[in-house]
Chains A and B, each alone.
Chain A
Amino acid sequence: MQPGLAATKQAARVVTVGGGKGGVGKTFLVANLAVALARSGHRVVAVDADLEGANLHTCLGARAPLASLADFVAQREDDLEKLLVDSPVPNLRLIAGTHANLGAAQPSQLRRVRLIRSLRQLDADVVIVDLGAGVHPAVLDYFLIGDECLVVLAPEPTSVENAYAFLRAAFYRRLRLAMVGHGVRRLVTQAMDQRNERGIRTPLDLLREVESIDPVEGRRFVDTMREFRPRVVINLVRSADDIKLGFAVCSVCRKYFGVDADYLGYVNHDDEARKSVTARQPLVDYQSNADAAVYLERIARKLAGALPAAPGAGALR
């Protein structure tokens, strides 16, 4: 089972927010969850890892800082703590993603490992990471380090397709990293190609192949699947059918991937949300009684329930 947020006392708990498709509200969700958690007394760091489309600072109402994660990626700065800037919200600091070199926005493998390690060492209770769209290995690696891995999707076909593609890619990458034997890793790599020559169509097909090669790796495969528990958030909900989409997606994940996805919650479509972005203020501050703000607080409360009690932490509104 995936370790809960309260499992370790020392390291910051990491919440990663991905989803594959742009425009589904990942940054909006990160900004509002970060504020809601900070307002409840948790020391929060929000990290904009979407270097090719950084705008988390805007959603938080902060100015574009001169130093950002891009400096870490470009090896101009080695200490993440030095990239932290205060936000307008007490208890909430930001590592922005501004001023990236768009020709080299993704870090090298070595740099990525260092970044992942450094995120956990930040002086915070919670580090919440906003990921970019797509399935670049760097995006997947950031996603997979989360103690809580949130997948955001909107109730529309393109978003659902991309969310599955994202989950599929994350799932196979996690498997590939978990497998020890070279032959099995190569097999997983082959399976990532949906038209692979071995005819591996589903994770179950892959499991059968792995078990036939190495039973020990087969057991590791199953354990890895059990530990991977993405949490689904449906954004821009307009109807009860949209809400039920979350249940259906989780069911498909269980039946197809063998992954026990969990439905974390949903956020209503709300004009106030758009207005809050225009006002460059998180919705939970801009209009705390707005429909969508209530749902965001609910999700934050669910996340906070898994957090260790922070000194001075109070209940979410």
Chain B
Amino acid sequence: MKALDEQDHYEILEIARAATAEEIERAYRMTSAAYADDSLALYSVFEADDAGVMRERIDLAFRVLSEGDRRREYDEQLAQRGGAAAHSTARHFSAESLAVEDGDLRTPSPPIPAMELPPSIEGFEDLETDGDDDYDGPSLRRARLNRGIEIDQISTVTKISSTHLRFLEEDCYDELPAPVYVRGFVSAYARSIGLDPQRVVAGYMAHLEVVRGGQRRSRPLGRA
């Protein structure tokens, strides 16, 4: 166990010595959130001063490790000191990013970068759709949450109202518009969280068809 001032930059960010630039940035976002002023996980353990020191250490670690030359120089210093301090794995904060980019349904936007989960959680990813393409609302929601993405972020990217997105996730078929619109919604949703739109649309629409039984009339768009 080491005091904060004894931990090297890699230990502060909880990453491996071989972490990529992307992993460093994501670890920085995650640790910054964990030790933010308003962090739920922090306030009852760390004193305000200690938390402030921690945030400064996190910022410093990121500044050094995110600049190629400074990082090389720092690595050399660590090697000279014995360098045994670095973590052997990056399982704690391997990646996290929730940047939102603009886009709409006509010009497909790149997916929202997802939060990479540690092995303990990643091991369950194969259960996300129970191994098949049977996508329904709850499975979409699980996929979204597994990626650490909020529904409002998808709304911003896709320009689809969060109300409609929630209807999708909650399988509120009676509240959804005509199938042609639902198809577009599902496609944009899937793309925004990094799923294959074709597979998701096929799965969701098949599910929708079964539930609606081709009998119920859908509401026109805008009357949610």
Q: How far is the CA of A188 from the CA of B39 in the complex (A)?
A: 29
Docked-complex contact A291 and B46, CB < 8 angstroms: no
Q: How far is the CA of A250 from the CA of B30 in the complex (A)?
A: 12
Q: How far is the CA of A294 from the CA of B118 in the complex (A)?
A: 19
Docked-complex contact B33 and A244, CB < 8 angstroms: yes
Q: A286 at interface (Cβ–Cβ under 8 A)? A: no
Docked-complex contact B149 and A240, CB < 8 angstroms: yes
Chain A 52-92: CB-based contact to B (< 8 A → 1; otherwise 0): 00000000000000000000000000000000000000000
Q: B93 at interface (Cβ–Cβ under 8 A)? A: yes
Distance between A30 CB and nearest chain B CB, rounded to angstroms: 19
Docked-complex contact B120 and A247, CB < 8 angstroms: no
Distance between B51 CB and nearest chain A CB, rounded to angstroms: 10
Q: B4 at interface (Cβ–Cβ under 8 A)? A: yes
Distance between B190 CB and nearest chain A CB, rounded to angstroms: 17
Q: Which single member of A161, A204, A207, A245 contacts B44 (CB below 8 Å)?
A: A161
Q: Which single member of A248, A258, A294 contacts B142 (CB below 8 Å)?
A: A294
Docked-complex contact A248 and B39, CB < 8 angstroms: yes
Distance between A26 CB and nearest chain B CB, rounded to angstroms: 19
Which residues in B have their C-beta under 8 angstroms from that of A291?
A: 138, 141-142
Which residues in A have their C-beta under 8 angstroms from that of B4?
A: 255
Interface majority SS (helix, strand, loop, mixed), chain A: helix
Which residues in B have their C-beta under 8 angstroms from that of A237?
A: 145
Q: Which single member of B42, B43, B120, B138 contacts A262 (CB below 8 Å)?
A: B120
Distance between A156 CB and nearest chain B CB, rounded to angstroms: 8
Docked-complex contact B123 and A302, CB < 8 angstroms: yes
Docked-complex contact B150 and A240, CB < 8 angstroms: yes
* B interface, size bucket: 35 or more
Q: A44 at interface (Cβ–Cβ under 8 A)? A: no
Task: From known contacts A204-B3, A255-B4, infer whether A247 and B127 are also in contact, taking CB-CB under 8 Å.
Answer: no
* Residues from 134 to 167 in B contacting A, C-beta threshold 8 Å: 138, 141-142, 144-145, 147-150
Q: How far is the CA of A191 from the CA of B204 in the complex (A)?
A: 57
* Residues from 65 to 95 in B contacting A, C-beta threshold 8 Å: 92-93
Docked-complex contact A248 and B41, CB < 8 angstroms: yes
Docked-complex contact B120 and A263, CB < 8 angstroms: yes
- Residue of B whose beta carbon sits closest to that of A317: B130
Distance between B20 CB and nearest chain A CB, rounded to angstroms: 19
Q: How far is the CA of A164 from the CA of B41 in the complex (A)?
A: 9
Q: Which residues of B contact A (CB under 8 A)?
A: 1-4, 14, 30-31, 33-35, 39-46, 54, 92-93, 96, 98, 115, 118, 120-121, 123-124, 127, 138, 141-142, 144-145, 147-150
Other A-B contacts than A222-B1, A263-B118, A268-B145, 17 sampled, CB-CB below 8 A, are A157-B40, A157-B43, A240-B145, A244-B115, A247-B34, A247-B93, A247-B118, A248-B30, A248-B42, A251-B35, A251-B93, A256-B45, A256-B46, A262-B120, A263-B121, A295-B142, A301-B123
